[in-house]
A and B are shown apart, each in its own frame.
Chain A
Amino acid sequence: MSLLLLNVLLALAWSALMGNFDPPYLLFGFVLGYFILYLFQKPPRTQKYFREVPLVIEFAFFFLWEIVVSNIRLTITILSPHPQLRPAVVAVPLDLKSEVGIVLLANLITLTPGTLSLDISSNKHTLYVHIFDLDDPEKFVKKIKNNYERRVREILE
């Protein structure tokens, strides 16, 4: 976390030296600061921060893509004269242990159009998800676990 702070400070320093706080300058300062911090790591060069930043960026793009795709699917379903609906409530077993991770996962599922997380079992082992068009329960659980939960785990744990 302190590396992130340093990185932001470097971006601000870059902008101050350029005398311009417009977004492109701040962004360039951030990228530059990232590389400088990367080069100035202490020898074992395995700091978590440098694994996390690419993961977060990749996840952001994946999630945006997911929102667009499910939006299109949902739009077609709503506007078609005879919508094909196979709603279901599916129990998804969780491997995530931390509360922050579970909250993040539940929020991401709800933000994706077409799926919403209803509740979590009291012992935090199972997440119940409502989906508007279920193909195959096992495939759906696998998709949630591989695409969402794996990434959340990689970033947080």
Chain B
Amino acid sequence: MGEYLILGIFLLGSFLVLVAGIGLLRMPDLFLRMSATAKAGTLGTGLMVLGAAIHFDEFAIYTRAIALIAFLFVTAPVSTHMLGRAAYFDGVPLWKGTIQDDLRGHYKLTTHSLEEEILPEKDQSHIEDEADAFEINE
């Protein structure tokens, strides 16, 4: 019984990581790719660590598993935020199907600060026109 539970948890965890990998290939732009991989970081890895902890069934392993998940949950969003911000600032184009972009025109070129109002054209950070080359990879 316990064996099958562990097996199920591991299979589900690795399935989610696999789907994240497929998502990384199929999604059309950088931000959607990051969205697709977020699941590997949260539920996928969490389930696998949990499965390992249940398998060994020792207090020391449980505490390590909890610490591992906690640090993962604290650090992963920081890197995602830095990547997303840097990408947007650098003018990585959004997919042409993007329906709304509230950030456009808010970054100030000279100070890298993010202002509340829409800035005049000359102060904006460089944003390329949304590229048409992006298609969903079938």
Is there a chain B Cβ closer than 8 Å to A54's Cβ? no
Report how far A72 CA is from B138 CA in the complex, Å.
21
Which A residues are CB-close (under 8 A) to B97?
A: 85-87
- Asked whether B26 lies within 8 Å of A116 as measured between CB atoms, the reply is no
Is there a chain B Cβ closer than 8 Å to A68's Cβ? yes
Is there a chain B Cβ closer than 8 Å to A117's Cβ? yes
Report how far A88 CA is from B77 CA in the complex, Å.
19
Q: Which residue of A lies closest to B136 (CB)?
A: A83
Is there a chain B Cβ closer than 8 Å to A78's Cβ? yes
Main secondary structure of the interface of B (DSSP, over half): helix
Report how far A154 CA is from B77 CA in the complex, Å.
22
Given known pairs A83-B136, A119-B81, the reply for A130 and B35 (CB within 8 Å) is: yes
- Asked whether A113 lies within 8 Å of B43 as measured between CB atoms, the reply is yes
Known: A110-B76, A121-B106. 12 other contacts (CB 8 A): A68-B43, A74-B23, A74-B39, A78-B27, A87-B95, A88-B98, A89-B98, A91-B103, A111-B76, A117-B81, A120-B114, A130-B84
Select which of A67, A88, A89, A122 is within 8 A of B114 by beta carbon.
A122
Select which of A71, A90, A106, A134 is within 8 A of B81 by beta carbon.
A106
| Min CB–CB distance A128 → chain B (angstroms) | 5
Interface residues of A in 100-152 (CB under 8 A from B): 106-107, 110-123, 125-126, 128, 130, 132, 134, 137
Q: Which residue of B lies closest to A118 (CB)?
A: B84
Interface string of B58-96 (1 = CB under 8 A from A): 010010000000000110111011001100100000110
Is there a chain B Cβ closer than 8 Å to A19's Cβ? no
Given known pairs A23-B59, A122-B115, A126-B116, the reply for A67 and B42 (CB within 8 Å) is: yes
Report how far A19 CA is from B100 CA in the complex, Å.
60
Report how far A90 CA is from B39 CA in the complex, Å.
21
Is there a chain B Cβ closer than 8 Å to A79's Cβ? yes
- Asked whether A79 lies within 8 Å of B19 as measured between CB atoms, the reply is yes
Is there a chain A Cβ closer than 8 Å to B38's Cβ? yes
Report how far A21 CA is from B97 CA in the complex, Å.
56
Which A residues are CB-close (under 8 A) to B38?
A: 110-114, 116
